[in-house]
C-alpha cells in the first residue's frame, strides 16, 4: 500500500512512514527496512525525531544493530525515547555492557531515564548474567530517579535471579511485589526451575499459574518437563492424563526466516518445504559435526522414559 501510495504521487507524512517502519520491525524484514530508511533520507525526513526513533527500533528488531547505532549517533536531536530505544537495541542483541555504558552517557548528558529505559537496562543485565549491576539499577529507580517499579521491572528481576540459579532470591522478589504477580512472573520462575531442576519450587510456581489460569497449557508442559528431568515418570503420566482431560496439547514449534524477499516457515518434523530433503541432510551434517566435538543432546524435556 505504501509503495502504491508513492507511485501515485501522494507524499506520505511522518505518521504514514512511522506506520510502515513499525510494520517492517514486526516482520523482521531487513531488506524492506533498508529500503524505507533510504526513502526517508531521500525525501527530507532524515532529521525527523519520531522517524529516527522508529528506525532505531526497526533495525534492532531486524537484526541490524550497527545500523541502529548509526541512526542514533547521527541524530541531530535525541530525546528519552531515542536513548531508551538504543539501550533496548543493545540489550536485545546481548550487548548488556554497551547498554550500561549508554545509560551512563545518557545520565552525563542530563537526560532523565524513564520506566522504559529501565526495562531495557534490566533486560540486558538479566540476559548477560550481570546480577549485581541489575540489583543496583533496580534500586536506583526509586533511590535516584523517583520511579516506582512496575510489573515488568519485577519480572526482569525474577528473570535475572532465575537465570543465575538464585531461585530463592527470585521468589523473594515475587513475595515483595506490591502488586499481585501474574502468570508471566510465575512462568519466569517456573522456567528457571525447569532449567535448574528445582522440583519443589517449580511445583509452587505451577500451582500459582494454574490458580490464575486453570487451563494454562504452558504450566502443565513445563511441569511435565521438570518431572521428566527428575525421571519421575509416574508424575509425567499423571500430568499427561490431565492434559488429555483438558484437551491441552503442546503446540509444535514454528520458526520463520525471510530470505531473498521470500518467507519460509518451518514446523517441527515438517517436510512440506520444497527443499526439505536438502534441509534435513544439512541438519544431519551439522549434528554429526557437533557430536564429534562432544555435543550431547539435552533429553530432560522428553516426556517419555528413554
Length of the chain (residues): 306
Tell me how far apart the alpha carbons of residues 64 and 61 are, in angstroms, rounded to a whole number.
7
**Domain end marker among 77, 108, 131:** 77
In a domain, 294, yes or no: yes
Q: Is residue 121 part of a domain?
A: no
Give whole-number Cα distances, 276 to 91, 139, 212, 270, in Å.
34, 51, 41, 8
The C-alpha cell that represents 82 in the structure block: 531515542
In a domain, 181, yes or no: no
Residue whose C-alpha cell reads 514486526 in the numeric block = 26
Torsion-angle region of 265 (φ positive above 0: left; ψ -120 to 50: alpha; else: beta): beta
Is residue 32 one of the residues assigned to a domain? yes
Cβ proximity of 40 and 32 under 8 Å: no
Q: Look at 7-16, 109-118, 142-151, 211-220 and tell me which has the smallest mean pLDDT.
A: 7-16
- pLDDT tops 80 at residue 256: no
| Higher-pLDDT residue of 295, 18 | 18
Alpha-helical runs (H) found in the chain: 2-7, 14-27, 30-42, 49-61, 65-74, 80-92, 96-108, 115-128, 131-143, 151-163, 167-176, 183-196, 199-212, 217-229, 233-245, 276-292
Decide if 132 is inside a domain.
no
User: CB-based contacts of 51: which residues, under 8 Å, 6+ apart?
Assistant: 14, 17, 18, 21, 40, 45
**The three grid cell numbers given for residue 129, joined into one nine-digit string:** 548474567
The mean per-residue pLDDT over the stretch 27-45 comes to 81
Asked if residue 89 has pLDDT above 50, the reply is yes
Within a domain: 187: no
Split at pLDDT 50, 70, 90, the class of 238 is confident
Among 90, 88, 82, 87, which residue's Cα sits nearest to residue 55? 82
What does the pLDDT look like over 125-167, one tens digit per residue?
999 999 999 999 999 999 999 999 999 999 999 999 999 999 9
Rounded distance between C-alpha atoms, residue 100 and residue 96, angstroms: 6
Burial (Cβ within 10 Å: 0-12, 13-18, ≥19) of residue 161: buried
Quick one: pLDDT at residue 243? 76
Question: What is the distance in angstroms between the CA of the first residue and the CA of the last residue of the chain?
Answer: 53
SS3 of 1-13? CHHHHHHCCCCCC
Q: How far from the centroid of its chain's Cα atoms is residue 80's Cα?
A: 22
Pairwise CA distance, residues 7 & 77, whole Å: 31
The domain in which residue 45 lies consists of 1-77
Domain boundary among 77, 95, 118: 77
Q: How many domains does the chain have?
A: 2
Q: What was the pLDDT predicted at 305?
A: 45
Q: Could you say which of 47, 77, 107 is where a domain stops? A: 77
Mean per-residue pLDDT, 233-260: 72
- What SS3 state is found at 254? strand
Cβ distance 211 to 195 under 8 Å? no
Asked if the structure places residue 214 within a domain, the reply is no
Q: What is the pTM of this model?
A: 0.74
d(CA 304, CA 2): 51
The label of the residue with cell 499481585 reads 180
Per-residue CA distances from 92 to 60, 119, 182, 288 (Å)? 7, 11, 23, 31
Within 13 Å of residue 120, how many CA atoms lie on the same side as its CB? 29
Residue 300 lies in a domain: yes
Amino acid at each position: 500500500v505504501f509503495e502504491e501510495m508513492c507511485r501515485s504521487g501522494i507524499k506520505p507524512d511522518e505518521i504514514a512512514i512511522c506506520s510502515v517502519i513499525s510494520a517492517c520491525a514486526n516482520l523482521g524484514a531487513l531488506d524492506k527496512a533498508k529500503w524505507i530508511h533510504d526513502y526517508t533520507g531521500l525525501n527530507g525526513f532524515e532529521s525527523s525525531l519520531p522517524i529516527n526513533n522508529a528506525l532505531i527500533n526497526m533495525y534492532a528488531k531486524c537484526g541490524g544493530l550497527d545500523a541502529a547505532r548509526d541512526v542514533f549517533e547521527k541524530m541531530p536531536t535525541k530525546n528519552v525515547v531515542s536513548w531508551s530505544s538504543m539501550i533496548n537495541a543493545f540489550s536485545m542483541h546481548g550487548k548488556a555492557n554497551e547498554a550500561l555504558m549508554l545509560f551512563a552517557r545518557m545520565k552525563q548528558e542530563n537526560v532523565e531515564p524513564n520506566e522504559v529505559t529501565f526495562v531495557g537496562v534490566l533486560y540486558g543485565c538479566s540476559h548477560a548474567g550481570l546480577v549485581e549491576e541489575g540489583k543496583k539499577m533496580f534500586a536506583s529507580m526509586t533511590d535516584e530517579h523517583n520511579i516506582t517499579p512496575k510489573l515488568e521491572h519485577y519480572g526482569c528481576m525474577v528473570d535475572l535471579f532465575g537465570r543465575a540459579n538464585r531461585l530463592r532470591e527470585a521468589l523473594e522478589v515475587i513475595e515483595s511485589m506490591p502488586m499481585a504477580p501474574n502468570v508471566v512472573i510465575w512462568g519466569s520462575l517456573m522456567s528457571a526451575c525447569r532449567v535448574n531442576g528445582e522440583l519443589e519450587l517449580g511445583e509452587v510456581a505451577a500451582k500459582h499459574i494454574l490458580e490464575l489460569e486453570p487451563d494454562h497449557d504452558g504450566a502443565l508442559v513445563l511441569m511435565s518437563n521438570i518431572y521428566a528431568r527428575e525421571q519421575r515418570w509416574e508424575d509425567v503420566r499423571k500430568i499427561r492424563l490431565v492434559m488429555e482431560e483438558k484437551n491441552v496439547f503442546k503446540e509444535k514449534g514454528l520458526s520463520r526466516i525471510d530470505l531473498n524477499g521470500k518467507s519460509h516457515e518451518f514446523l517441527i518434523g515438517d517436510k512440506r518445504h520444497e527443499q526439505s530433503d536438502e534441509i534435513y541432510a544439512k541438519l544431519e551434517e551439522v549434528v554429526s559435526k557437533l557430536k564429534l566435538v562432544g555435543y550431547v543432546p539435552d533429553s530432560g524435556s522428553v516426556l517419555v522414559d528413554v
